[in-house]
Structure 1
């Protein structure tokens, strides 16, 4: 495998791609990996665990063969409130038409609706909105009895059986982690998944429960909080603090809050993650038209660019890769948009989102990484190398935005895969992290092989805690020598 294929011109912003019927073969997964995918998302709302297991095994085998770390993210489906079977399917809901939600499993006439969430009639109040069909249909509750909710259609559309129900103004008693999710968490632990994302997050305790569940199954997976509920926005600070990362889940969020507020909410979420020091993924409909078309709309290209300008660490593709007609093409297009946007950032570094202080990062780590980055900038270093045991030092570097190419090395494959979500960090395997001289020789050769380093270039090494004995951190300034030399360090 040539160096050019293994390390194409890659964006610093990471790409998360959803696996589905359009791309679940070994050949397609390899092409997507080579095109720029950093994290593969497994949507556990669809498919069987046996098939997801096969996909994870295939991803790991391809990653091992290419010597290219790639992470896997399990996306828990969470509680899904859905309609039951309609008497007439589909039915067109006209404005000012009246419908009734009734208890039970079956409706008796076309204007009766049932759902899979039994307490719905108890918890919804008069005046609440009921959103159906991904938010395209809005009903308002105008009357309530012990056994019925009478609703008037405010915004009409076509309604089908088993479509989702959103209740943006209702405080629901439903458990965030369902029994099915618990089975999926056990599977994620047994499969050694890198990230697990939680749907329907409303408060920090939801994240704590998932972490406790993962730890009970001896899993090292990082927890991603999906922000898609109004309550999550109200408790955003605490949720971000207890999470390992955040996803701006704009699909359900755009139904739970006014769609006009989504852009402002996205910026607020990304800004909070930047300040606290958590990676953040922007998701849903980023290049949606490419599900069918070979080119995105100008608005979609601008949407991806604006997510990067906001400070997102990663952008996610959903149906574009899962069921789309051009999964590899859409990945290449996203990478192109990212590269063009990042060039603008690098041309004007004042636009980079750099927190003055990263909330939950140890002050020593911040001082060392910030100082090393500043040193690299002053010396016009061509590369920075973060040697880390868990990936924490690399995450701190990712949040100190700059345009110096940065390598992450570790003796832990889990840490390398974790770094696949960190902005601007390129994780590489096989580095001798516990021997400084051998590590510098390894990077000299690696950099020369990929055309990133030549003799007399400077490289800054930052060794995180736990790598070298009797040292909290070590920063080394290294000058590359000719291939037969050993290089010099200062």
Structure 2
């Protein structure tokens, strides 16, 4: 299976037996959700993951998911309220509640959220179950009259979103700063950042990491319209992205989310960055032992869109069948990937670019050569993992193995489609020689076959280490 699986740990899966089964079924990334916990509470879980990693000899990645700004309304008088379609309500700061007595009043104690709100703008409440439009500005940036577009239940302390509006709140909150420090302390391998809107949000986390003397991969969760619009600049700084379709479906019209997913996946692949597709992929398996047909199709379509990873949330955190849910993704992936490779008709050619990119063309050439001789594998050597990442962005039919001497690199490579990271402790200094040594010593690779070796041994005139060699090697 080339597609990687991200599994969220929770009460239903935080034990060695379940983690082991999930890893055997294809999980390579374990997600820790910091929305309801802190670093100290995750220490026992991390010990379990490291135990499984050692027992199975499979590098695993622990991803801490920072919760970001929680945008919720306050306490609504006499809630919950039944709101009829076309009914009116007020939305405003708590100190103007006395001016809005004739209709239900929804308090919001974050003034910055109301700044710039104008007549005609959308407001979504109760996780998208209630949709409103602003019909009248009673006090600019303080009090507004809204009209419901559908009927539903209005309760206190529920989430509120403003589709298409820039939210003037930092994505990196004070709680996130504490949790980031905790993640670094307990040995988390990567960070997922919630509610990213601009590249500056990612830079804020990078700056905080630098103060701790550590730089971990950052996965920017794309769940705001602004993030979709700024995706290219976000990808320049982020290590990868997550298509977080739950909140994205509240920010954007639900009918547009499938196309947005495809565009985000394509943008990430062009940037040689991994992309995770998340939210409700196997949601029915929280209670049921098999997924629905629609869920199976959803997973398959994400794979055919070119996603690197599929993520499970409630399915593995609180579900009754966590290992089985992962198993179904594995089964679907193994059935879908051959068709995906058949459909793209060979590795992706690099897009025409304004600047020369010899590394990308060398990687593409390696994939073409592997296809031409029907090679069983492409084997890369890379100190940073860059060579393997660029090769996998071309989507070769062959599995990609990446040898690296850096023990921190596999944690990032686990996010990438088709890559199996391997720590090498070879005493040989030449990168190509290390690949040959690995190939000859490994019984997995049959004799008489041609293998493609990709390496980046610096030469005297080369100022930075980059992929500079592709070799056809017959074992």
- The normalised TM-score by structure 1 is 0.87
Q: 1:25 to 1:229 in 2, by over 3 A?
A: same
User: How far apart in 1 are the matches of 2:217 and 2:275?
Assistant: 13
Q: 1:258 to 1:433 in 2, by over 3 A?
A: farther
Q: 1:444 to 1:94 in 2, by over 3 A?
A: farther
**Which stretch of structure 1 is more off in the superposition, 424-433 or 228-237?**
424-433
User: How far apart in 1 are the matches of 2:124 and 2:427?
Assistant: 53
> Which SS does the other structure have where 1:346 is aligned?
helix
User: Aligned-pair RMSD on alpha carbons?
Assistant: 2.7
Aligned-pair CA distance for 1:360: 11
User: How far apart in 1 are the matches of 2:378 and 2:108?
Assistant: 55
> Which SS does the other structure have where 1:182 is aligned?
helix
1:249 and 1:283 in contact (8 A); partners too: yes
1:131 and 1:165 in contact (8 A); partners too: yes
Match of 2:309 in 1: 314
Match of 2:438 in 1: 442
User: For structure 2, which runs of at least 5 residues remain unmatched after alignment?
Assistant: none
> Which SS does the other structure have where 2:94 is aligned?
coil
User: How far apart in 2 are the matches of 1:192 and 1:46?
Assistant: 19
User: How far apart in 2 are the matches of 1:205 and 1:211?
Assistant: 10
Alignment equivalent of 1:423, drawn from 410, 417, 423? 417
Q: 1:360 to 1:62 in 2, by over 3 A?
A: farther
Q: Does 1:460 align with 2:452?
A: yes
Aligned-pair CA distance for 1:271: 1.4
User: How far apart in 1 are the matches of 2:50 and 2:461?
Assistant: 32
> Which SS does the other structure have where 1:428 is aligned?
strand
1:433 and 1:467 in contact (8 A); partners too: no
Aligned-pair CA distance for 1:20: 1.5
Q: 1:477 to 1:469 in 2, by over 3 A?
A: farther
Match of 1:96 in 2: 86
Aligned-pair CA distance for 1:56: 2.5
Aligned-pair CA distance for 1:383: 1.7
User: How far apart in 2 are the matches of 1:360 and 1:46?
Assistant: 46
Q: 1:265 to 1:437 in 2, by over 3 A?
A: closer
Equivalent residues in 2 for 1:58-137, closer than 5 Å = 58-104=48-94, 111-137=104-130
Alignment equivalent of 1:198, drawn from 193, 201, 204? 193
Match of 1:303 in 2: 298
User: How far apart in 1 are the matches of 2:36 and 2:339?
Assistant: 39
**Which stretch of structure 1 is more off in the superposition, 406-415 or 256-265?**
406-415
Q: Does 1:27 align with 2:17?
A: yes
**Which stretch of structure 1 is more off in the superposition, 26-35 or 84-93?**
84-93
**Which stretch of structure 1 is more off in the superposition, 104-113 or 207-216?**
104-113
1:68 and 1:429 in contact (8 A); partners too: no
User: How far apart in 2 are the matches of 1:293 and 1:238?
Assistant: 41
- The normalised TM-score by structure 2 is 0.90
2:132 and 2:147 in contact (8 A); partners too: yes
Q: 1:113 to 1:349 in 2, by over 3 A?
A: closer
Match of 1:483 in 2: none
User: How far apart in 2 are the matches of 1:219 and 1:362?
Assistant: 32
2:164 and 2:226 in contact (8 A); partners too: no
Total equivalences in the alignment: 465
Q: 1:59 to 1:17 in 2, by over 3 A?
A: same
User: How far apart in 1 are the matches of 2:6 and 2:400?
Assistant: 20
User: For structure 1, which runs of at least 5 residues remain unmatched after alignment?
Assistant: 1-10, 481-490
Deviations 1:19-39, CA, capped at 9 Å, x for gaps: 112111222212211111011
User: How far apart in 2 are the matches of 1:267 and 1:379?
Assistant: 31
Alignment equivalent of 1:225, drawn from 214, 220, 238? 220
Match of 1:269 in 2: 264
Q: 1:433 to 1:31 in 2, by over 3 A?
A: farther
Match of 1:240 in 2: 235
